[in-house]
Amino acid sequence: MAALHHYLSIADLERAARKRLPACVRGYVCGGTEDGVSLQQSLQAFSRLGFVPRGLRHVAQRSTATTLWGQTYAMPMGFAPTGFAAIVMKDCDAALAKVAQAQALPFIISGASTVPLEQLQNAHDQRCWYQAYLPGNMARILPLLQRLERAQIPVLVVTIDTCVGANRENLQRLRFTVPFRPSWTLLLDGLRHPRWSCDVFLRTVLSQGVPRFANLAHEAGPAITADPPHGFRGERDQLDWDCIDQIRAAWKGKLVLKGVMHPEDARLAVAHGADAVIVSTHGGRQLDACISPLQALPEIRQAVPAGYPVFIDGGFRRGSDVLKAMALGADLVFTGRPQLFGAAVAGEAGIAHAVQLFRQELMTNLALLGVNRPQELTADCLRIQGDFSLPPSQR
Query: pLDDT tens digits for 190-244?
Result: 889 999 999 998 999 999 888 898 999 999 888 888 887 777 788 999 999 999 9
Q: What is the mean pLDDT of residues 338-362?
A: 98
Q: What is the mean pLDDT of residues 3-31?
A: 96
pLDDT of residue 364: 98
Q: What is the pLDDT of residues 127-157, one digit of tens each?
A: 799 999 999 999 999 999 999 999 999 999 9
In the chain, pLDDT over 70 holds for what percent of residues? 98
Q: What is the mean pLDDT of residues 346-364?
A: 98
The structure's pTM equals 0.95
Q: Does 124 score more than 70 pLDDT?
A: no
Q: What is the mean pLDDT of residues 287-291?
A: 96
pLDDT of residue 176: 85
Average pLDDT, the chain: 94
Q: What is the pLDDT of residues 35-55, one digit of tens each?
A: 999 999 999 999 999 999 999
Q: Does 395 score more than 90 pLDDT?
A: no
Q: What is the pLDDT of residues 291-339, one digit of tens each?
A: 999 999 999 999 999 999 999 999 999 999 999 999 999 999 999 999 9
Which position among 5, 58, 193, 282 bears the catalytic label? 282
In the annotation, is 353 catalytic? no
Q: Does 368 score more than 60 pLDDT?
A: yes
Q: Does 1 score more than 50 pLDDT?
A: no
pLDDT of residue 361: 98
Q: What is the mean pLDDT of residues 148-169?
A: 95
Higher pLDDT, 389 or 162: 162
**Full 3-state SS string of the chain:** CHHHHHCCCHHHHHHHHHHHCCHHHHHHHHCCCCCCHHHHHHHHHHHHEEECCCCCCCCCCCCCCEEECCEEECCCEEECCCCCHHHCCCCHHHHHHHHHHHHCCCEEECCCCCCCHHHHHHHCCCCEEEEECCCCCHHHHHHHHHHHHHCCCCEEEEECCCCCCCCCHHHHHCCCCCCCCCCHHHHHHHHCCHHHHHHHHHHHHHHHCCCECCCCCCCCCCECCCCCCCCCCCCHHHCCHHHHHHHHHHCCCEEEEECCCCHHHHHHHHHCCCCEEEECCHHHCCCCCCCCHHHHHHHHHHHCCCCCCEEEECCCCCHHHHHHHHHCCCCEEEECHHHHHHHHHHHHHHHHHHHHHHHHHHHHHHHHHCCCCHHHCCHHHEEECCCCCCCHHHC
